[in-house]
Structure 1
C-alpha cells in the first residue's frame, strides 16, 4: 500500500455515518426559509454549536442591506438572517474556502415541513439535499481533516442565510472570503448519480417600475397613461431581444385595479440568463435603451431596480485542475466523478468571479430540490464526506501548486 493510499484509508475510517445522518435529520426538521428570521436564528445557533468542534475563530455576522420592490413599486428593506463565519489557521501556507447556505426555499407556512422515508436509502424532506445534508458533509470532512492533523491547511467557512434569494446580503462577505484562496468547495447537491455541475450560466433579476397616470376608462381615457400597457411593451421588447446566449424571461406584471380605471402603476419582473460576461453588457445596454424608448412612446416614467448578481462561471484552467483533482480523489474510492454544464446558479458563480477555482456541488446525491419531492440518498452522506476529505488532503499537500 502506498503512503497516499494509507492516508486516504485512514481518513475514510474516521467517518461517522450515524452522526452524519442524525445531524441532517435534526437540521432538516427546522424550517429555515430565507425570510423566516426566527428559524434562521435557531439554525444559525445550531450550526455555530456544531462547527465549534473545529479550531479557529467562529462568529455570526450581519451582511449588507438589501432592498425589495413591492407590487406597488415601493422600495423596502429586505431583512436577512446572520451568516456564520469560521476562520481557521489564516497564516497556513495553503488557504481554502468552504461555503454553504442555511436557508431553504420553504417558507414558515409551507405545507412541506416533515421528513419521511421513501425506502431504506431515500429520505424525503425540506432541505435534506439543498443543503442541510451538504452542511453535514462539510462538517464531517473538516472534522476528520482536523483529527488527522493538517497544519499546512488554513481555511474559511462561510454559511450564508440568503443564498436561495440571490445572496444579496452576503455577496460582499463571499468576495472577501475568496480573497487569497487557492480553491473553494461549495456544498450544493450533486445529481442523484453523483454528477457535478461544471460551467454555469449567470443570472440577473430586475424589477421595472412604470408610473403612468390614472384616468376614467370611459369618460376620459385619453388623459390617462396606462402603466400596464407600457410594462407589457417593455416585456415584449426585451423578450424579442433574447438569443441562444441570453435567455430573457418576463415573469410577472403587478399592477392595475378596477376595470374602469386606467392603471397608473405597474411592476414588471424579468429574469436574464447570460451565457457569458459579454451578454451581461449587451443586456444592460438593452434594458437601458428599451426603458427609455418605452418611457418616451407611452409618456410614462420608468425606473429599473436589480442587477446581475450571479456572473457566468466558465471552466477555466484553474477550475479544470480542481475538477481533475476531485476526480482523482474519487478514483481512490472507486468513484467515477463526472461533471456537466448547467443553467442553474449558486454562490459558486460569485466565487469563480473572484478568481478562485471552485467545485460547487460537493454536497450529497439527491434530487427534486425546491419541491415537496426533495430527497437525499443516505449512502451519499459518508461517500461525499470522504470525497471532500480526500480532496482537502490532496490540496493541503500542494496538489494545486
Structure 2
C-alpha cells in the first residue's frame, strides 16, 4: 500500500499529537545513570504511571544479579534497578516486542545534569536522545495504535530496562524470554541525525582476565617472583594482534601493581572484543583462551577469565531485511527523506533480540546525536515524525500478519 487509509491518517494524527516533548523534559531532568538506583527508581515509577494508560499489565521486574571484577581481582555483585514490563493482548495473532532503556551513561555526580535549548528545536540534555525521547515515542505510537481498528490484531510486550548502557547483564534473560515467538521487534535507540538506521552490528564481549603471579623483593630475589603485571601486558599485546576485518580488539585497562620494590602478584586486564559474525565470535573466544593458556604457561602464572559475549553479532538476514524495507516504505508514505541503513560498530539490545531469531530494527527513536557526551541533543521535530513511523509500521505489520 503506497497511500494512507482514513483510519491510518487518524491514527497518525493521534501519534503526532502526543505530549512527547513534555515527557522528555520531565524524564530527562531526573538523573538515571545505570548506577544511580534512587534516580532509576524515580524514573521507573514515572514510566509505570505513564504506561498504565495502555491496556494490559504493567509490572516492575527485579533485575538479575550482576557479577564483576574489582580492581583487586575480587568478584563482586552489583545491584541494578528494576525493569519495566507491559504485556498487552498475548492472544492476538501478531505479537510485537518494543524495547528501550531508562538508564543513561551519566552518573549522579556527573556535571551534565540540566537541559538547555541549543537553538530552536534542538534540545540538549542528559538522555534526551539516548533514550528518554525513544520511550516517549513508544508510548505515543502505542497509544495511537490502541485507537486503530487494527489494534485487536496486535499484541505486544514493552520492556524498558535499567542497565542497557552497561551491557544489559541484569536484563538479558528478560529480553530473551520476551522475544520468544514475536513477529518482529522495534528498539528505540536514536536514529542518526539524517534519519538513517543502524543495520548490521558486531557482537561485543567484555572480559576481565585476572592474573595471579607471585610476589618477591624487586632487588633481593626478583627471580623468585612471577610478575603478574608483565604477564597481563603480554596478554594485552597478544590479544591486540588478533585484530582483523572480522574482529575489533580493545585492550582497555590493566589494574594491578604496587610498590616499586615488590614484584606484583596480581593484575587484571580489561579487554573488549567485537566480532562481526557468529563464526568470528567463536574464533575470538577460542583465541582468547589460547592466548591466556600461553601466557599462563610462559610466565608461570595462573589466569582466570571473567566475562562473556553479552551481545551476539547482529547480521541482516532475509527477515530483518524485509522489516527494514517495510520501515523504509512507511517512511516514504509519510513523505520522509529516504530512510537508509548501514552497518555500525555499536551494539545494543537489538543484538540480543536478533540472536533469538526475531527481526528487529533497533534505531526507531527520534533523530539526535552526540550521545554519551555533554553535547547530546534531540531534534524535537523528529518526535512526531518517529511516532508516526512506528505507528504506521505496526499497522502495516498487523495488516500483513508478518513482516
TM-score by length of 2: 0.97
Contact 1:362 1:384 in 2 (8 A): yes
Q: 2:368 corresponds to which residue?
A: 366
TM-score by length of 1: 0.98
Q: 2:124 corresponds to which residue?
A: 124
Deviation by residue 1:161-211 (Cα, 9 ceiling, x = unmatched): 000000001001001100010000000000001001111111111000001
Q: 2:350 corresponds to which residue?
A: 348
1:184 and 2:217 are equivalent in the alignment: no
Greater than 6 Å deviation, 4+ residue runs: none
Q: 1:311 corresponds to which residue?
A: 312
1:395 and 2:397 are equivalent in the alignment: yes
Q: 2:220 corresponds to which residue?
A: 219
Q: 2:322 corresponds to which residue?
A: 321
Q: Distance in 1 between matches of 2:378 and 2:3?
A: 34
Secondary structure at 1:205's aligned position in 2? strand
Offset, 1:348: 0.2
Offset, 1:3: 7.9
Q: Distance in 1 between matches of 2:315 and 2:219?
A: 55
Q: 1:17 to 1:25 in 2, by over 3 A?
A: farther
Pairs within 5 Å for 1:1-400: 4-17=4-17, 19-149=19-149, 150-335=151-336, 336-398=338-400, 400=402
Q: Distance in 2 between matches of 1:122 and 1:257?
A: 48
Deviation by residue 1:50-85 (Cα, 9 ceiling, x = unmatched): 000000011001122210100110000011001101
Contact 1:90 1:155 in 2 (8 A): yes
Secondary structure at 2:366's aligned position in 1? coil
Q: Distance in 2 between matches of 1:70 and 1:355?
A: 35
Deviates more, 1:288-297 or 1:353-362: 288-297
Q: Distance in 1 between matches of 2:265 and 2:9?
A: 68
Aligned residues: 401
Secondary structure at 2:190's aligned position in 1? coil
RMSD: 1.3
Contact 2:44 2:102 in 1 (8 A): yes
Offset, 1:287: 1.2
Deviation by residue 1:113-171 (Cα, 9 ceiling, x = unmatched): 00000011100000000000000011000011012241010000011000000000100
Secondary structure at 1:14's aligned position in 2? helix
Contact 1:322 1:400 in 2 (8 A): no
Contact 1:129 1:375 in 2 (8 A): yes
Q: Distance in 2 between matches of 1:63 and 1:106?
A: 20
Q: Distance in 2 between matches of 1:14 and 1:326?
A: 19
Q: Distance in 1 between matches of 2:210 and 2:228?
A: 9
Secondary structure at 1:13's aligned position in 2? helix
Secondary structure at 2:123's aligned position in 1? strand
Deviation by residue 1:192-247 (Cα, 9 ceiling, x = unmatched): 01001111111111000001111111111111111000001111111112211011
Q: Distance in 2 between matches of 1:45 and 1:16?
A: 25
Contact 1:97 1:181 in 2 (8 A): yes
Q: Distance in 1 between matches of 2:10 and 2:342?
A: 31
